Amino acid sequence: MSDIKKVVLAYSGGLDTSVIVRWLQDTYNCEVVTFTADIGQGEEVEPARAKAEALGVKEIYIEDLREEFVRDYVFPMFRANTIYEGEYLLGTSIARPLIAKRLIDIANETGADAISHGATGKGNDQVRFELGAYALKPGVKVIAPWREWDLNSREKLLKYCEERNIPVEMKKGKSPYSMDANLLHISYEGINLEDPWAEAEEDMWRWSVSPEAAPDEPTYVELTYKKGDIVAIDGQDMKPHVVLETLNKLAGANGIGRLDIVENRYVGMKSRGCYETPGGTIMLRAHRAIESITLDREVAHLKDSIMPRYAEVIYNGYWWSPEREALQALIDQTQNYVNGTVRLKLYKGNVDVVGRKSEDSLFDEKIATFEEDQGAYDQKDAEGFIKLNALRLRIAAGKGRKL
């Protein structure tokens, strides 16, 4: 007999997690608590309640976490200008630590013995969920059905539902792709995308028009920053999640934010995926622009040097780790003077920075000017600077060393 009496399941209400509810009940003879998070996936989450009730679930958690998601996870990540392998804006990765945190919170509140998730044994998400869970509750039991059962195809899952009278909602027009969505992005995997040579079909994309179909006139937008975070759009103050919602609409309408990449998963395989990150694409470009006039050169270069490590930490699931906390402390300290406004032009898939201003700007027009600088900069100083920096090169060349 199982020693597991109660399990908290990350529950979407879809086919996989509905099967998991019944499978947990049958396999472990346990009570299941479901947790459904609204992190801006664009679909109603409340219907998950009725589905869970139909499966005999008594404790059902459905929570709107959009503001917390953007404020405490997305914004801190963007302070670092974070991209993985030069392209990926980590839309799926950054949502997992919040879900893991709430799974553990709910397990503690309900006295559950274990948590469970619907991530497969091939992907990164199993790692992210479980690393987060173990960091927050070291002794927690994690049940990952995809690593235990033999229901490894859609046909087997549907047969399981039929045999146990589990209602399956067959949505008309449902995407054939494996998709994950939140306020930061939507991802697509599977079907023809498993061939890296095959071009993604136009009707796959959900959040953006194609650049060719975008308006023929540009859209201008101004973003106001305070300590590295966007606090207003076109002068209107907004909460973090409203900022991202607004930018998603602006960018998507202008064909911005599509990405097609092959990435290296933490578990070892390469994976081809397509992503829409419209608002995030704007945020990355604008944040670098405001930093360009407010950050000290060496601080900016230090940030750039640690960013790939920070991106790997998040991608691999180590948000709740001492190294991420240490990196975050450094990054956040650099943002004290990252204040001001950036003006952007959005046009047919492009985001162009056309203006930036800040009361904390380090750009000194008197020094940088090509006109008369009134003695603000003595050009003769450059001679000694160059000779000192060339000293090691001159010594090596004088010794006859070849490059």
Cα gap 134→130, rounded to integer Å: 6
Q: For the sheet containing 236-237, what is the strand order?
A: 236-237, 229-233, 219-226, 340-347, 350-357
Backbone angles phi, psi at 246, to 5 degrees: -65, -45
Q: Are 287 and 279 in contact (CB under 8 A)?
A: no
Bridge partners of 104?
none
Q: Which residues make up each annotated binding site?
A: 10-18, 37, 88, 93, 118, 120, 124-125, 128, 178, 187, 263, 275
Binding-site residue positions for L-aspartate:
120, 124-125
- In the chain the first and final C-alpha atoms are separated, in Å, by 72
* 38: Cα separation from own chain's centroid: 15
Starting at the edge strand found earlier in the chain, the sheet holding 31-38 runs 59-64, 31-38, 6-10, 114-116, 141-143
Is residue 13 within 8 A of residue 48, CB to CB? The reply is yes
260 forms beta bridges with 274
Tell me how many degrees the CA angle 315-128-244 measures, rounded to the nearest 5: 60
Q: Which of 221, 223, 237, 239 is nearest to 358 (CA)?
A: 223
- The radius of gyration of the chain's CA atoms, rounded to the nearest angstrom, is 25
Q: Look at strands 6-10 and 31-38 and give their pairing.
A: parallel
Hey, CA dihedral for 366, 370, 376, 382, is it positive or negative?
positive
**Cβ–Cβ under 8 Å, residues 135 and 321:** yes
Cβ distance 311 to 82 under 8 Å? Answer: yes
Beta strands 186-189 and 270-276 are antiparallel
Binding site for ATP: what residues are annotated? Answer: 10-18, 37, 118
Beta-strand ranges (E) seen in 13-162 are: 31-38, 59-64, 114-116, 141-143
- Catalytic residues, by residue number, are 16, 96, 125, 178
Residue with tokens 């939140």: 182
Say how many C-beta atoms besides its own lie within 10 A of residue 304's C-beta: 13
Nearest to 147 by CA among 127, 168, 167: 127
Neighbours of 131 (CB within 10 A): 20
